[in-house]
Chain A
Amino acid sequence: MKDFSNLISAIEITNKTNAKIEALVAYFKTAPDKDKLWLIALFTGKRPSRPVKSTLMKEWCMEITQLPEWLFLESYSTVGDLGETLALLLPNPENQIEKPLHIWIEELIHLKNKTDLEKKEYVLHAWNGLNAQDRLIFNKLIGGSFRIGVSKKTLVNALSKLSGIDGNQMMHSIIGNWTPENITFEALLNGEHINYDNSKPYPFCLAYALEKELNDLGDEDEWQVEYKWDGIRGQIIKRKDEVFIWSRGEELVTQQFPEIVAAVSQFKDDFVIDGEILAIKDTAVLLFNDLQKRLNRKNVTKKLLEEVPVGLYIYDILELNGKDLRAHAMEDRRNELEQLFLQNSSKMLQLSEVIDFKNWNELDELRNKARAFNSEGLMLKKKSSDYHVGRKKGDWWKWKVDPLTIDVVMIYAQKGSGRRSSKYTDYTFAVKKEDKLVTVAKAYSGLTDKEITEISRWVNKNAIEKFGPVRTVKPELVFEIAFEGIALSNRHKSGVALRFPRMKRWRKDKTVKDIDTIESVKALI
């Protein structure tokens, strides 16, 4: 496992994607085939399920080290990663175990059905045979994210560089249906498994945020304008009587949306369409908060289906009866879509509305009204554009409504995880409610590293408590936070929930006296 462990070290230290790719390529050139397959599986969400509970691992570590639990937790909060905390706390190994990656993983798969006692014996033996660096890898193989910034795209780029095979095809290959047990590395790279695979998705076509004046886009006639929706972007595949739903995160989410599967199955034709999965009740689109109740559930109950019904707003068609339409102009694809769905539209499947406009200057008003019916703004797509892979500038633009902003004061700070574990990066903010403060949001993005360092230092000096992961701080630092939407919510003490809150600016010029009140926040609803 030394080579794998060195690879992880090389990847984690650098924030340059090219350096990560180089390291991966070097590994792929020398590692055993089975190890390579497992590496790809690990980084594409195909990892085996966790054989040992993390609470047990924590317990065993405390038993070995004889540390009190509070000290274990204090260590955990500093390190920001359980697998790493265990690796660092355990005493130096007395033996040396060296096995290839795939053997470790196969052993861990078998461990799944063993008794807790057998698991303990195995894990303790491994811990005592690995140094801190390898121990961390071992703990991560049991479970938990590696957090080294290797996306599927990075992996695909490395594999393409290695093999010379087109990246798009490679993406299909690695997210397709395979397991390290039923394929060879070569067959995986060559995509021998994907022709038989009805579920094969296409990479999504993505849009950039609008960065020019509308007038500079050219003729209004050349553009199709639609509303932008805030749900789950999905690719719905119907091929040979099977239906698959892929999310933009390249996950199969078919089971989560049975009503869409049912609606799509009614069709005679085979197709691949791109759309937004939304919570829709009585023709009105609900907030993302509502849709969230439907996500990542093992079972979708009847009650939930009634409470939060979902539907699909269809944007585009990528394939019709086996024919790839992605290189066709968007207006032609739209024609196909209309022929297919206009006649057969149902509550579940609706075409995304094309906005009728004559002049660019009509759009700004439409955009700003979009929030009223839970749309995020507008999408501008060039009628001649093909459905390209990923993000490409110039053809598709998103033009969101301007975010809402309020001024808030920081009252809690928490250390981040992974790269951010040394700093206080996650903050909880409050606004005024009469003479008290009431929390309205948590946010962790939008500041520069330099600002975070400065704030961390401030938190260290101004923390009211000394233990535990969350520090209560003097209400002194004022931030302007931006968010996409606001709704009443019983879940939050303040009675409001913000959508996508993030820090827009650290307002060093303001004091706690200048922050918003809960009344002024509620007025935004």
Chain B
Amino acid sequence: MKLVKFTKKGIYCIPGKFYLDPWYPVDYAIISHAHADHARWGNKHYLCHHHSKAVLQHRIGKDISIESLGYKESKTINEVKVSFYPAGHIIGSAQIRLEYKGYIVVFSGDYKTQPDFLTTPFEPVKCHEFITESTFGLPVYKWKEETELQEELQNWVYQNQQNNRTSVFFGYSLGKAQRLLKLLEGVDDIFVHSAIHNLNEAIVSSGILLPKSTLITNDFKKDAIQNKIVILPPALLGSKLLKRIPNAATAICSGWMHIRGNRRWKGVDAGFAVSDHADWDGLLSAVKATEAEKVYVTHGSQAVFSKYLNEIGIEAHELKTEFGEDELAQKEEQKQETI
């Protein structure tokens, strides 16, 4: 059965007449999560998880036509049963399950199989066809457990404090920043950039508790920040704001930091492999757990991952999408910088 097809505008559900995370404006868009490469402007109607709603409104516009569902709740659109399952990527991130006449397709969006302290943990969903991301689809990517990461990050902060330095973390405003807040909760006062602060407010408004953080304003007092913790979006690397932070020790938090060459490329003091995407084992276990007959592999290492899946006897195809575009994410961050 052909339930979905891959079009120029994005992944299209044929009987349902809606799109999943479309990259050009459509009438009906079902959104896996609120990152800019998945949730774009200009759609006439949006459907997302409850916890993505406020963020989408914040990012795209207060007056958009939007409705939301909880995990495992369903809504039938043109005879297609649509439901959301936790993806463990960021707050409100969902896998989108489509069922039509007993045939099931699941679109993973972005996902992480390993639990963190904040997002609803990933749950595999059995299906006939699984559309998976593959951002870190190489066996060299193997993440540490959340508690081990926590210890590593916190030790880095304590060590900086001994050397009279302020710990500055760089991570995407949506997702990474909140995860960092949770990982660093209770260590010391945490200051965040306005881009992060505004998203935090949107997230809190949807009923989620976040650790306390303080907005870093343009006229911040150096004494108040010295030796504390600051979280900034990556676009602020090398910015004037960073230069004004007293004795800053800088760290980038991203899955890419797993590789030495990437850590050294950026000219920061530390790089932590804190990833909101699944690692190699995570991708493999997720794919296997779906028991899908056919797997479509999108953004990342689609060539490598689909070739490997075929070799181990899982039919897989590469899919060219416009997800995972760094450029877009960067533009988004840069836009925020000016806020």
A positions within 8 Å CB-CB of B: 12-15, 65, 67-68, 70-71, 74-75, 78-81, 84-85, 88-89, 92, 132, 136, 416-423, 449, 457, 466-467
Contact B140–A85 (Cβ < 8 Å): yes
Given contacts A68-B311, A78-B138, contact A419 B261 (CB under 8 A): yes
A136 vs B326: C-alpha distance when bound (angstroms): 29
A38 vs B327: C-alpha distance when bound (angstroms): 45
Residue numbers in A under 8 Å from B326 (CB-CB): 457
Which of chain B's residues has its CB closest to A416's CB?
Answer: B261
Contact B264–A67 (Cβ < 8 Å): no
Residue numbers in A under 8 Å from B256 (CB-CB): 422
A327 vs B259: C-alpha distance when bound (angstroms): 49
- Closest CB in chain B relative to A89 CB, distance in Å: 6
A136 vs B307: C-alpha distance when bound (angstroms): 28
Contact B261–A467 (Cβ < 8 Å): no
19 examples of A-B residue contacts, CB within 8 angstroms: A12-B260, A13-B264, A13-B270, A68-B308, A68-B311, A70-B307, A71-B138, A75-B140, A78-B138, A79-B259, A80-B261, A88-B142, A88-B259, A89-B139, A89-B140, A419-B265, A420-B265, A422-B262, A423-B265
Contact A71–B269 (Cβ < 8 Å): no
Given contacts A68-B311, A80-B261, A419-B265, contact A13 B271 (CB under 8 A): yes
Residue numbers in B under 8 Å from A457 (CB-CB): 326-327
Contact A81–B260 (Cβ < 8 Å): yes
- Give the dominant DSSP class at B's interface: helix
Q: Mark B310-336, 1 if CB is under 8 A from A, else 0.
A: 010000000000000011000000000
Q: Mark B281-309, 1 if CB is under 8 A from A, else 0.
A: 00000000000000000000001100110
Given contacts A74-B138, A85-B140, contact A422 B270 (CB under 8 A): no
- Closest CB in chain A relative to B162 CB, distance in Å: 13
* B258 interfacial by beta-carbon distance below 8 Å: yes
* B 242-281 contacts with A by CB, 8 A: 256, 258-265, 267-271
Given A15-B264, A88-B141, A466-B304; 12 other pairs, CB 8 A cutoff: A12-B263, A13-B268, A75-B140, A80-B261, A81-B261, A418-B260, A418-B264, A419-B264, A419-B265, A421-B262, A422-B259, A422-B262
* B 151-188 contacts with A by CB, 8 A: none
Residue numbers in B under 8 Å from A65 (CB-CB): 139
Residue numbers in A under 8 Å from B268 (CB-CB): 13
Most buried by B among A74, A89, A420: A74
Residue numbers in B under 8 Å from A92 (CB-CB): 142
Given contacts A15-B267, A88-B142, contact A71 B262 (CB under 8 A): no
Residue numbers in B under 8 Å from A89 (CB-CB): 139-140
Q: Mark B31-48, 1 if CB is under 8 A from A, else 0.
A: 000000000000000000
B positions within 8 Å CB-CB of A: 138-142, 256, 258-265, 267-271, 303-304, 307-308, 311, 326-327
Which of chain B's residues has its CB closest to A421's CB?
Answer: B261
A424 vs B103: C-alpha distance when bound (angstroms): 43
- Closest CB in chain B relative to A105 CB, distance in Å: 22
Most buried by A among B140, B263, B268: B140
Which of chain B's residues has its CB closest to A65's CB?
Answer: B139
Interface residue from B142, B265, B269, B303 paired with A449 (Cβ < 8 Å): B265
Contact B261–A79 (Cβ < 8 Å): yes
- Closest CB in chain B relative to A62 CB, distance in Å: 11
A457 vs B258: C-alpha distance when bound (angstroms): 20
A401 vs B303: C-alpha distance when bound (angstroms): 48
Interface residue from A75, A422, A449 paired with B139 (Cβ < 8 Å): A75
- Closest CB in chain B relative to A476 CB, distance in Å: 18
Interface residue from A132, A136, A418, A466 paired with B303 (Cβ < 8 Å): A466
- Closest CB in chain A relative to B313 CB, distance in Å: 13
A24 vs B207: C-alpha distance when bound (angstroms): 50
Which of chain B's residues has its CB closest to A467's CB?
Answer: B303
Residue numbers in A under 8 Å from B271 (CB-CB): 13
A325 vs B327: C-alpha distance when bound (angstroms): 60
- Closest CB in chain B relative to A77 CB, distance in Å: 10
- Closest CB in chain B relative to A381 CB, distance in Å: 37
Residue numbers in A under 8 Å from B259 (CB-CB): 78-80, 84, 88, 421-422
Contact B138–A75 (Cβ < 8 Å): yes
Residue numbers in B under 8 Å from A15 (CB-CB): 264, 267
A420 vs B261: C-alpha distance when bound (angstroms): 6
Residue numbers in B under 8 Å from A419 (CB-CB): 261, 264-265
A466 vs B308: C-alpha distance when bound (angstroms): 14
A68 vs B138: C-alpha distance when bound (angstroms): 12
A325 vs B268: C-alpha distance when bound (angstroms): 45
Interface residue from A14, A71, A84, A449 paired with B260 (Cβ < 8 Å): A84
Interface residue from A67, A84, A85, A422 paired with B265 (Cβ < 8 Å): A422
A14 vs B265: C-alpha distance when bound (angstroms): 10
Given contacts A12-B260, A420-B265, A421-B259, contact A88 B303 (CB under 8 A): no
Which of chain A's residues has its CB closest to B141's CB?
Answer: A88
Residue numbers in B under 8 Å from A85 (CB-CB): 140
Which of chain A's residues has its CB closest to B318's CB?
Answer: A466
Contact A79–B140 (Cβ < 8 Å): yes
Residue numbers in A under 8 Å from B261 (CB-CB): 79-81, 416-422
Most buried by A among B259, B271, B308, B311: B259
A457 vs B326: C-alpha distance when bound (angstroms): 9
Which of chain A's residues has its CB closest to B326's CB?
Answer: A457
Residue numbers in B under 8 Å from A466 (CB-CB): 303-304
A275 vs B122: C-alpha distance when bound (angstroms): 68
A80 vs B303: C-alpha distance when bound (angstroms): 19
Interface residue from A74, A79, A418, A421 paired with B304 (Cβ < 8 Å): A74
- Closest CB in chain A relative to B138 CB, distance in Å: 5
- Closest CB in chain B relative to A138 CB, distance in Å: 15
- Closest CB in chain B relative to A2 CB, distance in Å: 14
A71 vs B301: C-alpha distance when bound (angstroms): 11
Residue numbers in A under 8 Å from B269 (CB-CB): 13-14
Most buried by A among B260, B261, B270: B260
Interface residue from B142, B258, B264 paired with A12 (Cβ < 8 Å): B264
Residue numbers in A under 8 Å from B270 (CB-CB): 13
Contact B304–A71 (Cβ < 8 Å): yes
Residue numbers in B under 8 Å from A80 (CB-CB): 259, 261
Residue numbers in A under 8 Å from B141 (CB-CB): 88
A14 vs B327: C-alpha distance when bound (angstroms): 26
Residue numbers in A under 8 Å from B260 (CB-CB): 12, 79, 81, 84, 136, 418, 421
- Closest CB in chain B relative to A187 CB, distance in Å: 33
Residue numbers in B under 8 Å from A84 (CB-CB): 259-260
- Closest CB in chain B relative to A135 CB, distance in Å: 12
A13 vs B252: C-alpha distance when bound (angstroms): 11
- Closest CB in chain A relative to B78 CB, distance in Å: 35
- Closest CB in chain B relative to A80 CB, distance in Å: 5
Which of chain A's residues has its CB closest to B303's CB?
Answer: A466
Most buried by B among A13, A14, A423, A457: A13
Contact B140–A78 (Cβ < 8 Å): yes
A423 vs B262: C-alpha distance when bound (angstroms): 9
Residue numbers in B under 8 Å from A13 (CB-CB): 263-264, 268-271
Residue numbers in B under 8 Å from A136 (CB-CB): 260
- Closest CB in chain A relative to B314 CB, distance in Å: 15
A89 vs B307: C-alpha distance when bound (angstroms): 18
Most buried by B among A89, A92, A418, A419: A419
Contact A67–B262 (Cβ < 8 Å): no
A75 vs B301: C-alpha distance when bound (angstroms): 11
Contact A67–B303 (Cβ < 8 Å): no
Which of chain B's residues has its CB closest to A85's CB?
Answer: B140
Which of chain B's residues has its CB closest to A136's CB?
Answer: B260
